[in-house]
Structure 1
Amino acid sequence: MKLLFIGARLFDDVAFYTKKMGINTVLTESNPQAQNIGLSDSYHLVPRGMEHPKEIAIKEDVDGVVPLIGIDEPLKDVALLKEELETNYGLPVVASPLNAAAISGDKIKTKEFLTKNNIKTPEHTLISSGEKVDLKGFPLVLKQAQGQGGKNIKIALSKEDVQYYLEEHDSALVERFLDGIEISVEILRWKNQTVPLVPVYKGKTTLDCIHPLKKMKKAPLNIDDTEIGTDAHNYNQSIRKIALNIADLLGTEGTADLDLIFDKINKKTYILEINTRPSGTRYLTAASSDINPLHELVDMATGSWNSNNVIKRMKEYFALEVPVGNYPSDKNNYQFREFQGENSWIIHGPENHQRITIRGKKEENCLKTAAQLNLNLEKFRN
């Protein structure tokens, strides 16, 4: 079995698994300085775009293609590659098709999709610098149609803030700011089989736009019963049902990440966006459920993936993820990217942006491990 992987940045998350499964790996990468290119059995340095990966997939006679791309911009091109290789060569490409990629990659199209399907999403409107803007109900969230990682997002506290934003950007998508809790859930979907994984707690919403990667996160989500009006298990199951419904409506394939907010004021859950790419919460997902989303992509490409098998393998652990910047450890490499047992931890991420994800049988086990690692959790509590 031979697979082509597109993109080296995330390859260290699958390298140990592919070696264990005896899979021959071919990697394409456009950056000659990229880490992880030496972890594959062979690699090709290619220009940006999907034309060369397509040619290599055909020339190398691979059995499947797994794009390991964590940014939105190339996803439409990946979808076109998928369409051509699957239609003309019968070669599976584990990524979402064009319609799903186009909608998820554009926040305005995402809003239209959610509204059309009667799915709760924060109140929103479009504004432009050439029109009279009369907004009320501050604070408001200002966004661009494209962008990720908090880029070009601003919390406007006044009309002046909106005017300053429109001086820099000609237009904006405006949402009502919700005082609540940020939630994420990853979704696996392949050949019309869908498995929503564990809901993740990403922290409370803040007016200073702190990105979730800079917050302490937990899984599974555990909101106080008095806040949600039901027990945490039932609430999490309701989120998983929402995720399953949206993935099926959108027709995602491979892995996707759904972002939600629980509004503490009106006790309702709103959908923000869905991203058809690997999630930043994938380590928490793996720690808490024992299902590694990127490993599942490999199984999809080899033809061995089955949703019922995934459901049977899912476990229930508590998981905690802490940003550590730079942490002295020799374990930040592909050989240590699998959790060992019910109380274990891994370190991951590039220099200055490292994180430690801890698995425990219960929350107190995670806290004990955090103390042993000398992690200061108090500065993350909000």
Structure 2
Amino acid sequence: MKKNIAIVMGGYSSEYDISIKSGNVVYQHLDRHLYNPYRIIISREKWVCLDDSDQEFPVDRSDFSIPHSSGKIHFDCVFNAIHGTPGEDGLLQAYFELLNLPQTSCDHYQAALAFNKRDLLSVLKPHGVPCATSYYLDKGQSIDEDSIVNKVGLPCFVKANRAGSSYGISKVYKKEELKAAIDKAFTEDNQVLIESFLDGVEVSVGVITHKGQVLVLPITEIVSENDFFDFEAKYLGKSQEITPARISETKEANVRKLAEFIYTILGFEGYTRSEFIFIGDEPYLLEVNTVPGLTEESILPKQAKAAGISLKELFSSAIEQALQ
């Protein structure tokens, strides 16, 4: 019997539109011989299921079901395509765990940890994972530009601590530019992470559980036409994403080993995409995404394609792993 699969998309963050695109790609490519897919749009205003004519049906949040003429439709598994809150920060994961409903991303703790860049780096540093020098700020805290510059140097990156898709990020060259960059980051989150500039080759490494095994996908080299891999570079064609990356065998072995170690030591499941910058042959971790983009043009699906894994197979594998 075919399984009912809820593909959740949308969310509460600036990544809403990107998530809708990811969710629709999953919907288009899901194997209809195995699954009955349903598009579930989650927003602050409403949770609804869309049929093929885009008619909306309300979701019953008490048991995550939708109405049907013959009774409620219940789901066997949730495919999580929500970037940002509440799909990438652990909130939905905890909700589905309480309902005992399998879902394709990692558990709520791992999701919340990865989404909080400061906490993630703090947990991984004792394991010997190299990271940039960092400075933390919380909303309402006084800003000491001299202290920041003394700690991280210039240029530096100012980031929203809990945001994705390069929202709220700035590269700062002068002390006088810090205040505006911090204010921009605070529009996305009330926590800010300021990091030293790492000058080296940037790569993105996808790690998935495929057919029951942890698999590191072919590595992607990021070459931005802009000053860094910002929103324009990521989504508006202002970058080259080269798979496989043009790096030495030593660099490749080091980053593959580190990416798999992070995935395993933190107990991730489903898909992750981690960003690194090389200093010499050593990869420095920037962040880990637990619900990466899933459109045809997104990095992880391209890496899967390079590994000989189709979108249909990629998505089916995640569902089957969750069901187990």
Q: Give the TM-score range, shorter chain.
A: 0.7 to 0.9
Q: Is the 8 A contact 1:6 1:67 kept in 2?
A: yes
1:29 to 41, 44, 51: 41
Runs of 4+ in 1 over 6 A off after TM superposition: none
Cα shift at 1:298? 2.7
Provide the secondary structure at the position in 2 that maps to 1:109: helix
Provide the secondary structure at the position in 2 that maps to 1:173: strand
Provide the secondary structure at the position in 1 that maps to 2:261: helix
CA distance in 2, matches of 1:71, 1:262: 27
Which residue in the other structure is 2:105 paired with?
95
The answer to whether the aligner puts 1:175 opposite 2:195 as a matched pair is yes
Cα shift at 1:220? 0.8
The answer to whether the aligner puts 1:79 opposite 2:64 as a matched pair is no
Q: Deviations over 1:267-322 (max 9, x none)?
A: 4310000011033313321331122467434334245999xxxxxxxxxxxxxxxx
Q: How does 1:206-285 map to 2 (within 5 A)?
A: 207=227, 210=230, 211-213=233-235, 214-223=238-247, 231-232=248-249, 234-263=250-279, 266-279=280-293, 280-285=298-303
Q: Deviations over 1:141-193 (max 9, x none)?
A: 11121212221111111111113334564763211112222211111137974
Cα shift at 1:38? 4.9
Provide the secondary structure at the position in 2 that maps to 1:248: helix
Q: How does 1:144-159 map to 2 (within 5 A)?
A: 144-159=160-175
1:287 to 301, 305, 313: 305
Q: How does 1:1-382 map to 2 (within 5 A)?
A: 1-2=2-3, 3-7=5-9, 9-19=21-31, 21-30=33-42, 37-38=50-51, 45-46=57-58, 51=61, 54-56=64-66, 59-75=72-88, 76-86=90-100, 91-127=101-137, 129-134=141-146, 135-136=149-150, 137-166=153-182, 169=186, 172-189=192-209, 193-203=213-223, 207=227, 210=230, 211-213=233-235, 214-223=238-247, 231-232=248-249, 234-263=250-279, 266-279=280-293, 280-292=298-310, 295-302=313-320
Cα shift at 1:80? 1.0
Cα shift at 1:262? 1.6
Provide the secondary structure at the position in 2 that maps to 1:9: helix
Q: Is the 8 A contact 1:278 1:294 kept in 2?
A: no
User: C-alpha root-mean-square deviation of aligned residues, in Å?
Assistant: 3.4
Q: Is the 8 A contact 2:57 2:66 kept in 1?
A: no
Gaps of 5+ in 1: 224-230, 307-382
Which residue in the other structure is 2:14 paired with?
none
Structure with greater Cα Rg = 1
Letter in 1 for 2:240: M
Provide the secondary structure at the position in 1 that maps to 2:201: strand
Q: Is the 8 A contact 2:278 2:284 kept in 1?
A: yes
1:52–1:255 Cα change, 3 Å = farther
Q: Is the 8 A contact 1:180 1:205 kept in 2?
A: no
Cα shift at 1:5? 1.8
Cα shift at 1:208? 5.5
What TM-score results when the alignment is normalised by the length of structure 2?
0.75
Cα shift at 1:138? 0.9
Q: Is the 8 A contact 2:106 2:268 kept in 1?
A: yes
Cα shift at 1:257? 1.0
Q: Is the 8 A contact 1:107 1:146 kept in 2?
A: yes
Cα shift at 1:118? 1.8
CA distance in 2, matches of 1:20, 1:162: 51
Letter in 1 for 2:253: Q
CA distance in 2, matches of 1:22, 1:43: 24
Letter in 2 for 1:218: I
Cα shift at 1:256? 1.2
What TM-score results when the alignment is normalised by the length of structure 1?
0.64
Q: Is the 8 A contact 1:72 1:277 kept in 2?
A: no
